[in-house]
Structure 1
Amino acid sequence: MTLGDFSSLVQLGVGLHAGTALVEAITELTESPLSRRLSRLHKIAEAKVKSNRANAQDLFDHANDLLGELEVKKVQFFNEYKIVVEVNAAVAIALALLLSAISFLYSEEINFAIGVLIVLFSLAPASASLLFLWSRWKSNTAQLRASIDALHKKLIGGT
Protein backbone atom coordinates (compact mmCIF):
# COMPACT_ATOMS: atom_id res chain seq x y z
CA MET A 1 0.00 0.00 0.00
CA THR A 2 1.29 3.46 -0.88
CA LEU A 3 0.57 6.95 0.38
CA GLY A 4 -1.03 7.74 -2.96
CA ASP A 5 -3.76 5.22 -2.19
CA PHE A 6 -5.02 7.61 0.48
CA SER A 7 -4.99 10.89 -1.46
CA SER A 8 -8.72 10.85 -2.27
CA LEU A 9 -9.61 10.00 1.31
CA VAL A 10 -7.46 12.84 2.64
CA GLN A 11 -9.08 15.20 0.10
CA LEU A 12 -12.46 14.11 1.44
CA GLY A 13 -11.21 14.75 4.98
CA VAL A 14 -10.07 18.27 4.09
CA GLY A 15 -13.48 19.06 2.60
CA LEU A 16 -15.36 17.45 5.47
CA HIS A 17 -13.46 19.37 8.14
CA ALA A 18 -13.50 22.64 6.23
CA GLY A 19 -17.23 22.20 5.69
CA THR A 20 -17.97 21.54 9.35
CA ALA A 21 -15.80 24.52 10.25
CA LEU A 22 -17.52 26.90 7.87
CA VAL A 23 -21.16 25.84 7.84
CA GLU A 24 -23.23 27.52 10.53
CA ALA A 25 -26.27 25.50 9.50
CA ILE A 26 -25.30 23.07 12.25
CA THR A 27 -26.48 25.56 14.84
CA GLU A 28 -29.73 26.13 12.94
CA LEU A 29 -30.42 22.39 12.66
CA THR A 30 -30.10 21.89 16.39
CA GLU A 31 -31.86 25.05 17.58
CA SER A 32 -34.73 25.54 15.16
CA PRO A 33 -37.12 22.71 16.17
CA LEU A 34 -37.16 23.79 19.81
CA SER A 35 -37.30 27.46 18.88
CA ARG A 36 -40.24 26.98 16.50
CA ARG A 37 -42.16 24.92 19.04
CA LEU A 38 -41.67 27.49 21.78
CA SER A 39 -42.66 30.32 19.42
CA ARG A 40 -45.92 28.54 18.62
CA LEU A 41 -46.64 28.01 22.31
CA HIS A 42 -45.87 31.67 22.99
CA LYS A 43 -48.41 32.70 20.33
CA ILE A 44 -51.02 30.39 21.85
CA ALA A 45 -50.38 31.88 25.30
CA GLU A 46 -50.66 35.38 23.84
CA ALA A 47 -53.99 34.49 22.23
CA LYS A 48 -55.26 33.16 25.55
CA VAL A 49 -54.24 36.42 27.26
CA LYS A 50 -56.16 38.41 24.64
CA SER A 51 -59.24 36.27 25.22
CA ASN A 52 -58.99 36.81 29.00
CA ARG A 53 -58.64 33.13 29.93
CA ALA A 54 -57.87 32.19 33.54
CA ASN A 55 -54.14 31.83 34.32
CA ALA A 56 -53.35 33.00 30.79
CA GLN A 57 -51.04 35.79 31.94
CA ASP A 58 -49.00 33.34 34.04
CA LEU A 59 -48.63 30.99 31.07
CA PHE A 60 -47.68 33.89 28.81
CA ASP A 61 -45.06 35.08 31.32
CA HIS A 62 -43.74 31.53 31.61
CA ALA A 63 -43.48 31.30 27.81
CA ASN A 64 -41.55 34.60 27.80
CA ASP A 65 -39.19 33.25 30.45
CA LEU A 66 -38.62 30.10 28.40
CA LEU A 67 -37.91 32.18 25.29
CA GLY A 68 -35.25 34.06 27.26
CA GLU A 69 -33.77 30.82 28.55
CA LEU A 70 -33.67 29.44 25.01
CA GLU A 71 -31.76 32.51 23.83
CA VAL A 72 -29.19 31.94 26.59
CA LYS A 73 -28.84 28.29 25.53
CA LYS A 74 -28.34 29.39 21.91
CA VAL A 75 -25.50 31.71 22.94
CA GLN A 76 -23.89 28.96 25.02
CA PHE A 77 -24.21 26.54 22.11
CA PHE A 78 -22.72 29.02 19.67
CA ASN A 79 -19.73 29.49 21.99
CA GLU A 80 -19.19 25.72 22.02
CA TYR A 81 -19.65 25.67 18.25
CA LYS A 82 -16.87 28.27 17.84
CA ILE A 83 -14.45 25.97 19.67
CA VAL A 84 -15.40 23.06 17.42
CA VAL A 85 -14.92 25.31 14.37
CA GLU A 86 -11.38 26.10 15.48
CA VAL A 87 -10.57 22.43 16.00
CA ASN A 88 -12.04 21.40 12.63
CA ALA A 89 -10.24 24.25 10.86
CA ALA A 90 -6.95 23.10 12.40
CA VAL A 91 -7.62 19.51 11.34
CA ALA A 92 -8.49 20.68 7.80
CA ILE A 93 -5.19 22.57 7.61
CA ALA A 94 -3.27 19.56 8.93
CA LEU A 95 -4.98 17.31 6.38
CA ALA A 96 -4.19 19.77 3.59
CA LEU A 97 -0.53 19.64 4.64
CA LEU A 98 -0.71 15.84 4.69
CA LEU A 99 -2.23 15.93 1.21
CA SER A 100 0.67 18.09 0.04
CA ALA A 101 3.12 15.59 1.50
CA ILE A 102 1.26 12.74 -0.19
CA SER A 103 1.61 14.49 -3.55
CA PHE A 104 5.40 14.49 -3.14
CA LEU A 105 5.61 10.99 -1.66
CA TYR A 106 2.86 9.43 -3.77
CA SER A 107 4.56 6.08 -4.36
CA GLU A 108 6.05 5.67 -0.85
CA GLU A 109 5.20 2.36 0.73
CA ILE A 110 3.50 2.56 4.13
CA ASN A 111 2.45 -0.07 6.62
CA PHE A 112 -1.09 -0.92 7.63
CA ALA A 113 -0.99 1.02 10.92
CA ILE A 114 -0.10 4.27 9.13
CA GLY A 115 -2.96 3.67 6.70
CA VAL A 116 -5.40 3.19 9.58
CA LEU A 117 -4.15 6.39 11.22
CA ILE A 118 -4.64 8.34 7.99
CA VAL A 119 -8.19 7.01 7.68
CA LEU A 120 -9.01 7.87 11.29
CA PHE A 121 -7.43 11.33 11.07
CA SER A 122 -9.34 12.03 7.85
CA LEU A 123 -12.80 11.05 9.09
CA ALA A 124 -13.03 10.81 12.87
CA PRO A 125 -12.59 14.41 14.10
CA ALA A 126 -15.44 15.90 12.04
CA SER A 127 -17.78 13.05 12.91
CA ALA A 128 -16.86 13.28 16.59
CA SER A 129 -17.34 17.04 16.64
CA LEU A 130 -20.84 16.78 15.14
CA LEU A 131 -21.80 14.11 17.67
CA PHE A 132 -20.31 16.26 20.44
CA LEU A 133 -22.33 19.31 19.41
CA TRP A 134 -25.53 17.31 19.13
CA SER A 135 -25.06 15.66 22.53
CA ARG A 136 -24.15 18.98 24.20
CA TRP A 137 -27.28 20.63 22.80
CA LYS A 138 -29.44 17.73 23.97
CA SER A 139 -27.95 17.67 27.47
CA ASN A 140 -27.89 21.47 27.88
CA THR A 141 -31.52 21.83 26.85
CA ALA A 142 -32.99 18.78 28.62
CA GLN A 143 -34.52 20.82 31.43
CA LEU A 144 -35.70 23.49 28.99
CA ARG A 145 -37.37 20.85 26.81
CA ALA A 146 -39.10 19.43 29.90
CA SER A 147 -40.34 22.92 30.80
CA ILE A 148 -41.61 23.44 27.26
CA ASP A 149 -43.42 20.09 27.44
CA ALA A 150 -45.05 21.17 30.71
CA LEU A 151 -46.08 24.50 29.19
CA HIS A 152 -47.51 22.65 26.19
CA LYS A 153 -49.62 20.45 28.48
CA LYS A 154 -50.90 23.47 30.38
CA LEU A 155 -51.73 25.43 27.23
CA ILE A 156 -53.19 22.67 25.12
CA GLY A 157 -54.51 20.52 27.96
CA GLY A 158 -56.51 23.44 29.33
CA THR A 159 -55.24 23.25 32.91
Structure 2
Amino acid sequence: MGTALAAAIAGFAAQRQVRAEHRHWRRQMRRDAYAALAARADEVREALRGIEAEFGTPAHDLQELRTVLTETRRTIRDELGDALRSVELEGPPELARMAGELVKSLSACAAVIQARTGGRTTNQALGADQLARIRGFLNHADGKRERFMASASRAIDVR
Protein backbone atom coordinates (compact mmCIF):
# COMPACT_ATOMS: atom_id res chain seq x y z
CA MET A 1 0.00 0.00 0.00
CA GLY A 2 2.82 2.42 0.89
CA THR A 3 4.61 1.73 -2.39
CA ALA A 4 1.45 2.35 -4.40
CA LEU A 5 0.85 5.62 -2.55
CA ALA A 6 4.43 6.76 -3.14
CA ALA A 7 4.13 5.88 -6.85
CA ALA A 8 0.86 7.81 -7.13
CA ILE A 9 2.38 10.87 -5.42
CA ALA A 10 5.41 10.69 -7.72
CA GLY A 11 3.08 10.42 -10.74
CA PHE A 12 1.09 13.49 -9.67
CA ALA A 13 4.31 15.43 -9.08
CA ALA A 14 5.57 14.48 -12.55
CA GLN A 15 2.27 15.57 -14.14
CA ARG A 16 2.44 18.88 -12.28
CA GLN A 17 6.01 19.40 -13.52
CA VAL A 18 5.03 18.64 -17.12
CA ARG A 19 2.14 21.12 -16.93
CA ALA A 20 4.43 23.79 -15.48
CA GLU A 21 6.97 23.25 -18.24
CA HIS A 22 4.26 23.41 -20.89
CA ARG A 23 2.94 26.69 -19.45
CA HIS A 24 6.47 28.10 -19.47
CA TRP A 25 6.96 26.99 -23.09
CA ARG A 26 3.63 28.55 -24.17
CA ARG A 27 4.49 31.80 -22.38
CA GLN A 28 7.85 31.86 -24.18
CA MET A 29 6.21 31.20 -27.56
CA ARG A 30 3.77 34.04 -26.96
CA ARG A 31 6.54 36.37 -25.79
CA ASP A 32 8.52 35.66 -28.96
CA ALA A 33 5.48 36.29 -31.18
CA TYR A 34 4.60 39.52 -29.37
CA ALA A 35 8.21 40.74 -29.46
CA ALA A 36 8.49 40.03 -33.20
CA LEU A 37 5.33 42.00 -33.91
CA ALA A 38 6.49 44.91 -31.72
CA ALA A 39 9.90 44.98 -33.41
CA ARG A 40 8.41 45.04 -36.92
CA ALA A 41 5.81 47.64 -35.89
CA ASP A 42 8.54 49.85 -34.40
CA GLU A 43 10.57 49.52 -37.60
CA VAL A 44 7.57 50.61 -39.66
CA ARG A 45 6.68 53.46 -37.29
CA GLU A 46 10.23 54.83 -37.44
CA ALA A 47 10.25 54.65 -41.23
CA LEU A 48 6.89 56.42 -41.47
CA ARG A 49 7.98 59.11 -39.00
CA GLY A 50 11.15 59.65 -41.05
CA ILE A 51 9.15 59.93 -44.27
CA GLU A 52 6.74 62.39 -42.64
CA ALA A 53 9.62 64.53 -41.35
CA GLU A 54 11.34 64.57 -44.74
CA PHE A 55 8.17 65.57 -46.57
CA GLY A 56 8.03 68.58 -44.26
CA THR A 57 11.31 69.90 -45.65
CA PRO A 58 11.53 71.61 -49.05
CA ALA A 59 14.81 69.92 -50.03
CA HIS A 60 13.65 66.30 -49.80
CA ASP A 61 14.45 63.72 -52.45
CA LEU A 62 10.99 62.82 -53.75
CA GLN A 63 12.08 59.67 -55.56
CA GLU A 64 14.04 58.38 -52.55
CA LEU A 65 11.07 58.96 -50.24
CA ARG A 66 8.79 57.11 -52.63
CA THR A 67 11.24 54.20 -52.64
CA VAL A 68 11.36 54.16 -48.82
CA LEU A 69 7.55 54.32 -48.69
CA THR A 70 7.25 51.40 -51.11
CA GLU A 71 9.71 49.36 -49.01
CA THR A 72 7.82 50.27 -45.84
CA ARG A 73 4.51 49.19 -47.34
CA ARG A 74 6.15 45.90 -48.38
CA THR A 75 7.39 45.45 -44.79
CA ILE A 76 3.85 46.02 -43.52
CA ARG A 77 2.43 43.48 -45.92
CA ASP A 78 5.11 40.81 -45.57
CA GLU A 79 7.12 40.95 -42.34
CA LEU A 80 4.53 42.66 -40.16
CA GLY A 81 1.85 40.43 -41.68
CA ASP A 82 3.87 37.33 -40.77
CA ALA A 83 4.34 38.61 -37.22
CA LEU A 84 0.59 39.28 -36.97
CA ARG A 85 -0.19 35.71 -38.05
CA SER A 86 2.09 34.41 -35.28
CA VAL A 87 0.23 36.48 -32.70
CA GLU A 88 -3.07 35.25 -34.10
CA LEU A 89 -1.87 31.66 -33.69
CA GLU A 90 -0.52 32.16 -30.17
CA GLY A 91 -3.44 34.23 -28.92
CA PRO A 92 -5.30 35.07 -26.88
CA PRO A 93 -7.97 36.31 -29.31
CA GLU A 94 -8.28 39.75 -27.68
CA LEU A 95 -4.57 40.38 -28.08
CA ALA A 96 -4.64 39.13 -31.67
CA ARG A 97 -7.43 41.64 -32.35
CA MET A 98 -5.31 44.45 -30.87
CA ALA A 99 -2.34 43.36 -32.97
CA GLY A 100 -4.54 43.45 -36.07
CA GLU A 101 -5.68 46.97 -35.19
CA LEU A 102 -2.05 48.07 -34.84
CA VAL A 103 -1.15 46.65 -38.25
CA LYS A 104 -4.22 48.24 -39.86
CA SER A 105 -3.37 51.58 -38.27
CA LEU A 106 0.18 51.50 -39.63
CA SER A 107 -1.11 50.43 -43.04
CA ALA A 108 -3.61 53.30 -43.04
CA CYS A 109 -0.85 55.74 -42.19
CA ALA A 110 1.26 54.50 -45.10
CA ALA A 111 -1.79 54.80 -47.38
CA VAL A 112 -2.38 58.40 -46.26
CA ILE A 113 1.22 59.29 -47.00
CA GLN A 114 0.93 57.59 -50.40
CA ALA A 115 -2.28 59.50 -51.16
CA ARG A 116 -0.77 62.84 -50.12
CA THR A 117 2.39 62.36 -52.15
CA GLY A 118 1.46 60.07 -55.03
CA GLY A 119 0.83 62.73 -57.66
CA ARG A 120 3.58 65.12 -56.59
CA THR A 121 6.19 66.09 -59.16
CA THR A 122 8.13 68.68 -57.15
CA ASN A 123 10.14 68.60 -53.96
CA GLN A 124 7.99 71.26 -52.35
CA ALA A 125 7.28 70.60 -48.69
CA LEU A 126 3.85 69.34 -47.73
CA GLY A 127 1.51 71.87 -46.17
CA ALA A 128 0.97 72.04 -42.43
CA ASP A 129 -2.53 70.60 -42.76
CA GLN A 130 -1.28 67.59 -44.73
CA LEU A 131 1.54 66.97 -42.25
CA ALA A 132 -0.91 67.27 -39.35
CA ARG A 133 -3.14 64.63 -40.94
CA ILE A 134 -0.21 62.25 -41.34
CA ARG A 135 0.91 62.94 -37.74
CA GLY A 136 -2.62 62.18 -36.57
CA PHE A 137 -2.42 58.74 -38.16
CA LEU A 138 1.04 58.19 -36.66
CA ASN A 139 -0.20 59.18 -33.21
CA HIS A 140 -3.17 56.83 -33.59
CA ALA A 141 -0.77 53.99 -34.41
CA ASP A 142 1.31 54.91 -31.34
CA GLY A 143 -1.78 54.55 -29.17
CA LYS A 144 -2.57 51.15 -30.71
CA ARG A 145 1.00 50.03 -30.02
CA GLU A 146 0.84 51.15 -26.39
CA ARG A 147 -2.39 49.22 -25.82
CA PHE A 148 -0.98 46.13 -27.53
CA MET A 149 2.21 46.22 -25.46
CA ALA A 150 0.34 46.69 -22.18
CA SER A 151 -1.96 43.77 -22.98
CA ALA A 152 0.94 41.61 -24.19
CA SER A 153 2.79 42.22 -20.93
CA ARG A 154 -0.28 41.11 -18.99
CA ALA A 155 -0.76 38.06 -21.24
CA ILE A 156 2.74 36.77 -20.52
CA ASP A 157 2.56 37.87 -16.89
CA VAL A 158 5.34 40.45 -17.01
CA ARG A 159 5.15 42.95 -14.20
TM-score interval (norm. to shorter): 0.3 to 0.5
Higher relative contact order (CA 8 A, sep 6+): 1
Query: What is the TM-score of this pair, normalised by structure 2?
Result: 0.41
Normalised by the length of structure 1, the TM-score is 0.41
